[in-house]
Amino acid sequence: MTNVLITSASRKVSLVRAFQQALSEEGGGKVIAVDASPLSPALYLADEHYLVPPSHEPEFLPVMLRLCKQLNIKLLIPTRDEELPFFAEHKQRFAEIGCLVMVPDPLTVRICQNKRLFIEFCHKRGFATPKTYDAKSLPVDIEFPLFIKPQRGKGGRYALRVDSKEELELALKRVPDPIIQEFIEAPEYTMDLFADFSGKVISVVPRERIRVVGGESFIGKTSQNPALIQEAVRLATELKLIGHNTIQCFLDNNKVKFIEVNPRFGGGASLGFAAGAPTPLFLVKLLKGEKLEPRIGEFEDNYIMLRYTEDLFLNAGELTSRRFP
């Protein structure tokens, strides 16, 4: 029996269900979900759930260690950007009690979460990114449109297109620690890449982001594009990624230009599961000691995902107050 813990479960019902399916195929186990808020739908769809302190509070670490030890958690899946540095820093503490945390080393997390550091990393290692400008020394004849985003951020917050010098001046006052890049009108892709705990890439599923809401892909289509797959494998190897990762890029005239990497499950990851790369199942197999051989390119091409919301109704008295002791 393998028990899996999903933190910051929030609305990640599809991820809970994917791990439940994986465990049912591999001898059983429980999916335990935790969150700081009782208004998190995924809590109620998990096999077991608890409320825990927010990750920035001092009580978070002792509660999580106690929970993992008492519930015999073998795999911990962080799902929120803000908690990735915490788990990267403390993953050895969890390993000491027999719990693997799906998170890379702290330096990798730091590079992934700082867009400026990520751009520098890419340039030093020969990966393309959108052309980037220094806000303090912009060319007089700079061409518009441009794209501005904060050095740190998620969900597209503060990211915007500017079409003139006037708009640029306003944006620079509004966007914290701005990064200025060329505006690319080309297909945008997310690549769900999975690597084992030694960093060997097992699968890559590129999916075109056809419709995006709040930074998440709601309509997507898989793509058997060799350029995307090859560059994703190369980037993952250089970055020392492990587990499931969400890599974003443009394909501009068949040139891969990387945007960012999130070393965690993304909102649209279920398309990759359905297309032939069920990474929750891969993780469970690894925990059981199985050796996975690479299956890069083994997924259904042109497979389309149409995401929609699903409602859960509860009486106010049914909202959980179950805190882990």
The total number of residues written for the chain in this structure: 325
Domain presence at residue 321: no
The whole-model pTM stands at 0.95
Residue 176, pLDDT > 90, answer: no
Are residue 159 and residue 252 in the same domain, yes or no?
A: no
Contact of 101 with 4, CB cutoff 8 Å: no
Residue numbers of the domain that contains 142: 131-182
Nearest to 205 by CA among 119, 303, 121: 303
pLDDT tens-digit readout, 251-302: 999 999 999 999 999 999 999 999 999 999 999 999 999 999 999 999 999 9
**pLDDT at residue 117, as a whole number:** 97
Domain presence at residue 269: yes
Residue 155, pLDDT > 70, answer: no
Residue 324, pLDDT > 90, answer: no
Are residue 63 and residue 89 in the same domain, yes or no?
A: yes
pLDDT tens-digit readout, 96-120: 999 999 999 999 999 999 999 999 9
DSSP secondary structure, 281-323, as one string: HHHHHHHTTPPPPP-TT-S-TT-EEE---------GGGS---B
- Percentage of residues in the chain with pLDDT exceeding 90? 88
Are residue 189 and residue 178 in the same domain, yes or no?
A: no
Average pLDDT over residues 114-132: 97
DSSP secondary structure, 66-98, as one string: HHHHHTTEEEEE--SGGGHHHHHHHHHHHHTTT
**CATH assignment of the domain containing 256:** 3.30.470.20
Average pLDDT taken over every residue of the chain: 95
Domain presence at residue 46: yes
Average pLDDT over residues 154-162: 79
Are residue 52 and residue 34 in the same domain, yes or no?
A: yes
Domain presence at residue 313: no
Q: How far apart are alpha carbons 325 and 321 in whole angstroms?
A: 12
**pLDDT at residue 291, as a whole number:** 96
Q: What's the number of domains the chain is made of? A: 3
**CATH assignment of the domain containing 59:** 3.40.50.20
Are residue 138 and residue 227 in the same domain, yes or no?
A: no
Are residue 269 and residue 190 in the same domain, yes or no?
A: yes
Are residue 240 and residue 215 in the same domain, yes or no?
A: yes
Q: How far apart are alpha carbons 292 and 148 in whole angstroms?
A: 41
Are residue 85 and residue 169 in the same domain, yes or no?
A: no
> Which among 165, 182, 199 is the end of a domain?
182
pLDDT tens-digit readout, 80-97: 999 999 999 999 999 999
Are residue 251 and residue 148 in the same domain, yes or no?
A: no
Weakest mean pLDDT among 129-143, 225-239, 293-307:
129-143
In the structure encoding, which two tokens stand for residue 98, read together?
A: 């027999």
Q: How far apart are alpha carbons 150 and 144 in whole angstroms?
A: 19
The count of other CB atoms within 10 Å of the CB of residue 127 is 19
**pLDDT at residue 157, as a whole number:** 75
Amino acid, single-letter form, for residue 269: A
